[in-house]
Amino acid sequence: MKNKTLGMMISSLRKDKGMTQLELANLMNVTDKAVSKWERDISCPDINSIPKLAEALDVSVDELMQSKNNISTTSNKPIKEIISTILKAIPIAMGVAVVTLSILNAIKPTEAILLLGIGVTSAGIVLMSNSKNED
């Protein structure tokens, strides 16, 4: 059962026992929707309920916890790449905000300068980071 997520482990063990999600939910005093979320790795069982879950599935806590940690994430990209993308988007967002708010006459000049300053600072960080990576 190695390299399975906790959700995959729960689903597999539950099915091996011929149990429905509702039956497991009733044993665990949760809803069948909670069990479904566990099995899809959207959420995890409460840490205090792990021993009860292991007992319900006829495995040890150690066996149940031998799963691969695979909580859903938005991306597998390295954090530096994600930050770089965000820093590149900020100047564009600030520029669009200033132009839109100016057209709507909903921004003061000092506020516009502040937003553009944030965008320029963000662009500067990206440029400095890129030049540092080239060295």
Q: Is residue 122 part of a domain?
A: yes
pLDDT in tens, 95-110: 999 999 999 999 999 9
Look at residues 37, 64, 91 and tell me which one is the last residue of a structural domain. 64
State the total domains in the chain.
2
- The verdict on residue 69 lying in a domain is no
Decide if 1 is inside a domain: no
CATH number, residue 18? 1.10.260.40
- 97: in domain: yes
Higher model confidence: residue 65 or residue 15?
A: 15
pLDDT reported for residue 131: 76
Hey, what's the torsion of the CAs at 25, 30, 33, 36, to 10 degrees?
-50
Q: Which domain holds residue 59?
A: 6-64
Q: State whether 10 and 43 are in the same domain.
A: yes
Query: Is the pLDDT at 65 greater than 60, yes or no?
Result: yes
Same domain, 60 and 97: no
Cα–Cα distance, 41 to 122 (Å, whole number): 35
| CA distance readout (Å), 38 to 2, 75, 83 | 17, 20, 30
Please tell me which residue, 109 or 82, carries the higher pLDDT value: 109
Same domain, 85 and 51: no
Domain annotation covers residue 70 = no
Q: What is the mean pLDDT of the chain?
A: 87
| Whether 100 and 50 share a structural domain | no
The reply to whether 22 falls in a domain is yes
